[in-house]
Amino acid sequence: MEISLDKVFADPSRKVVTAHRGLSGVRPENTLAAFLAAEAAGADIVEFDVRDTQDGVPIVLHDPTLDRTTNGAGPVVASTWGTVRELEASYWQGTHDRGQRLAAPAEPGTRIPSFEQVLETLGGKTCMNIQVYVSTQTVLRRVCDMVRAAKLHASTFLMVADFATAACVRSVDSGLQLCIGTERDKPQKHAAAGARYLQPWRGILSPELRDEALALGLRTSVFYANTPEDIAAIWDLGYQGILTDRCDLAVAVRKEREKPT
């Protein structure tokens, strides 16, 4: 069966679950373990973050430094892939907003994956929301080329920081689907820049924002909700998707809501 974002969002009445950094409220964030757990839990899309090492290797890590989630220290761009790939990557436990740094790794042997490893692991199995934090346009082009080489245009989109980066991506490969991280309360500007996705912060939600995004054909997923109550509340506002560290809970809420009344 073909995996595509068009299929995920095809039915406007069906709620869409994006696993933020994988099933990161349960397994180590941004690791293969968290991504495979999210897929198994029934998430529609797996979200993760891409940065680059000193030697230009795209890797999957949220923070600009290694300190919070690993036994490394300092900026990731100051370390080579050979160093980064040996680090323990499960020092953070729990959701991104309420978790804690541990004194020892929760799951010893868990590593930071390369972007290539993640594409090989998830490609053709689930859709991907790739948040790009790379430090140079050279690496940005490399990320675009890797998605194209893997033939994942239909099942992935890149979340980039600003409109200038979006324009750069479009100049490299106009077929790549886009989401933009700034000015999330201005759907018209996002649509004009070629974005297909909008991820509004939950603090800016309104019926007007929802309706404008819908009229422009933007696919919305709200950041973020990590409890059944928050998940249900956002869906009650009429937004189709959410990003969550607990995709298992979101899938359970969706199943409950889909039961015949």
Element (H, E) at 20: strand 16-20
Average of per-residue pLDDT values in the chain: 97
- Cβ atoms within 10 A of the Cβ of 116, count? 15
Tell me the mean pLDDT in the region 151-163: 98
Say yes or no to pLDDT of 129 above 70: yes
Written as one letter, the residue type at 96 is H
Query: What average pLDDT does the segment 107-131 reach?
Result: 98
DSSP 172-219: H-TTSEEEE-S-TT-HHHHHHTT--EE--BGGG--HHHHHHHHHTT-E
* CA gap 65, 176 in Å, rounded: 28
- Domain layout of the chain by residue ranges: 5-46+113-258
Percent of the chain predicted with pLDDT > 90: 98
- Residues forming a β-bridge with 243: 18, 223
Residue environment code for 187-226, b if the CB has 16+ CB neighbours within 10 A, otherwise e: beebbebbbbbbbbebeebeeebbebbbeeebbbbbbbbb
- Whether 148 shows a pLDDT value over 80: the answer reads yes
Collapsing DSSP states into helix, strand and coil, what is residue 243? strand
Q: What is the pTM of this model?
A: 0.98
Place of tokens 């068009």: 6
* Interval 14-32 mean pLDDT: 98
Q: What are phi and psi of 56, to 5 degrees?
A: 80, 20
Q: Please give the CATH number for the structural domain made up of 5-46+113-258.
A: 3.20.20.190
Tell me the pLDDT band of 35, cut-offs 50, 70 and 90: very high
